[in-house]
Every structure is written in structure tokens, then in C-alpha cells.
């Protein structure tokens, strides 16, 4: 399967971001991709106002942002992992978000435009970072999703779904591999400071320890005078080798996933079968 990962530098204007996303998706399709991953918050970066209203607009598949992703998938004939968008719809475990909060949700769309899977971000980024923003508290705006891993079964691969800060919790990725995931997706908006320190090493570690491909789409640039993201979106193979990467700014990268290579690696070094704990 040929895959593409999209990097963006989304701003506060939704229409401009959607136009940019649509153009990058067209580039991915023109490059022969069958599966494409968008970054976290592809539709908007910055500001807390309006999140609840946006979530309420996306309580059903015909919501504004969900319909956009469905239309892109069907018009281009792509599998689309739609980065993240806010929703107040009850999640798959019938958990509702807290009052005045939204879920940050990742939807997977088939080439026919059907929603085939949904994951609500488990781990919220409530940390202090030595950068222009300093204090990040996702729990001020978002509710955490449920505690069950989510996969999406495609004809040729099984996706394990995760979002950004999830990357620091290896138990999630082990659970996804136990469910049969062989490709892990990580739509993200890693800060410049944390990305510079940990982005690549965490991605390569998750790929190596689970013997999976990883598709990691990041935001990559200056969104305001106070907010800068790391970029370096990449595609990693099960041996931890980086197959494709982009530094900063918007763009599309491609790679071919060789599932026979993955299966051979798992047979020759069956670390998942050797687990003792």
C-alpha cells in the first residue's frame, strides 16, 4: 500500500485551513497514495473560543468538518485518517463529554466516504513547557475519551489509532498491536520544544517495540507569536528506519508499506511472542 502523510501549519481561519487541506489531499492522490493521514487540528490552530460550538456542529456524520472529510475521501478515492476534530457526540463507549467540553476525535473514512472508525483522544496534554505558551491545559477544553484502544480494519492493513500526547504511553500501542494493528497512526500538534526533544525517538521506539509501521502527521511551523510546532512529520518502518520525512512547513510525504517485510521481521525476531509480562 502506498501511503501519504500531510503536514500543515494551520491558522485560526477554518476555511483557509480546509482549502489548504484539500489541496494537500489532492497532491497525495496525484502521487498515487491509497491511504492519507492529516495532522491534529488540521481545521484550526489557536484560540479557545468556539470549540464547543464546533463540537456541536459535528455531532453527526453530516456535521461540517465530518462532511468535509467524507467528501474529500470519496471525491479522491482515498482512505483518509482525518487528523482530529472536535465533537460532542457520545463516544463509542457511550461516554458523554463533560459540560462545556468536547472530545478530540479521529475519524477514518473509506474511499466511498463512509466513516469506518472513530477514536477519542485518551490522554490530555496538561503540562508546562518552556516555550512561548508555557502552560498547556487541554482539560480546560476537552474531555478524555474512553479507555479502550481502537483499530480500523482496511483491506490490506489494520490501523491502530492514537493522537499526539498518546505517544508517551507505550501501553496503548502494545494494546493496539495485540488487537492486530500493523500500522500505527499519530496525528499530532507537538510543540517545538517537546518535539525537538522527543518526537523522533518516541516514534521510532513505538515502531520498533511493536514491529509496526508508523504514520506521524504533525503541525509544523509558527501559528502565532506564542505558538510554534515541531513538524518533522514522518513515516517509520518496523525496524525503526525513517522512510520519509519533512522538516517544517506544509507538504506531503510518501512511502510504500511492505507488509511482507513486516511479517518476515516478526518471524525472524518474534519479540511479541517472547513477552513475559
Helix or strand (DSSP H, E) at 92? none
* Sign of torsion over alpha carbons 45, 188, 85, 111: positive
Is 106 among the residues known to form the active site?
no
208 φ, ψ (degrees, to nearest 5):
-65, -50
Element (H, E) at 142: none
Other beta carbons less than 10 A from residue 231's beta carbon? 27
Residue with cell 518552556: 130
Active site residue 40: yes
Question: Is 121 an annotated catalytic residue?
Answer: yes
What grid cell was written down for 74?
Answer: 470519496
Catalytic residue among 34, 106, 138, 164: 164
d(CA 111, CA 32): 14
Catalytic-role residue among 121, 138, 200, 234: 121
- CB–CB of 256/245 below 8 Å? no
Q: Which residues are catalytic?
A: 40, 121, 164
Amino acid at each position: 500500500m502506498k501511503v501519504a502523510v500531510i503536514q500543515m501549519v494551520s491558522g485560526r481561519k477554518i476555511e483557509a485551513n480546509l482549502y489548504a487541506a484539500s489541496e494537500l489531499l489532492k497532491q497525495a492522490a496525484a502521487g498515487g497514495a491509497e491511504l492519507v493521514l492529516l495532522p491534529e487540528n488540521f481545521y484550526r490552530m489557536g484560540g479557545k473560543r468556539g470549540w464547543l460550538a464546533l463540537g456541536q456542529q459535528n455531532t453527526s456524520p453530516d456535521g461540517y468538518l465530518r462532511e468535509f472529510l467524507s467528501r474529500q475521501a470519496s471525491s479522491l478515492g482515498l482512505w483518509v485518517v482525518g487528523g482530529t476534530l472536535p465533537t460532542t457526540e457520545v463516544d463509542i463507549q457511550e461516554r458523554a463529554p463533560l459540560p462545556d467540553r468536547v472530545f478530540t476525535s479521529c475519524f477514518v473514512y473509506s474511499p466511498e466516504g463512509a466513516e469506518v472508525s472513530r477514536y477519542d483522544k485518551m490522554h490530555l496534554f496538561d503540562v508546562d513547557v518552556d516555550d512561548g505558551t508555557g502552560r498547556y491545559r487541554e482539560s480546560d477544553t476537552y474531555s478524555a475519551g474512553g479507555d479502550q484502544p481502537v483499530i480500523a480494519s482496511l483491506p490490506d492493513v489494520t490501523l491502530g489509532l492514537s493522537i499526539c500526547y498518546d505517544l508517551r504511553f507505550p501501553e496503548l500501542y502494545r494494546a493496539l498491536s495485540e488487537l492486530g494493528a500493523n500500522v500505527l497512526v499519530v496525528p499530532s500538534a507537538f510543540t517545538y520544544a517537546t518535539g525537538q526533544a522527543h518526537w523522533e525517538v518516541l516514534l521510532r521506539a513505538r515502531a520498533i517495540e511493536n514491529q509496526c509501521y508508523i504514520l506521524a502527521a504533525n503541525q509544523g511551523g509558527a501559528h502565532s507569536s506564542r505558538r510554534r510546532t515541531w513538524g518533522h512529520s514522518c513515516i517509520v518502518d518496523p525496524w525503526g528506519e525513517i522512510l520519509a520525512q519533512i522538516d517544517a512547513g506544509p507538504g506531503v510525504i510518501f512511502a510504500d508499506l511492505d507488509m511482507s517485510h513486516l511479517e518476515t521481521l516478526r518471524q525472524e525476531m518474534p519479540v511479541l511472542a517472547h513477552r513475559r509480562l
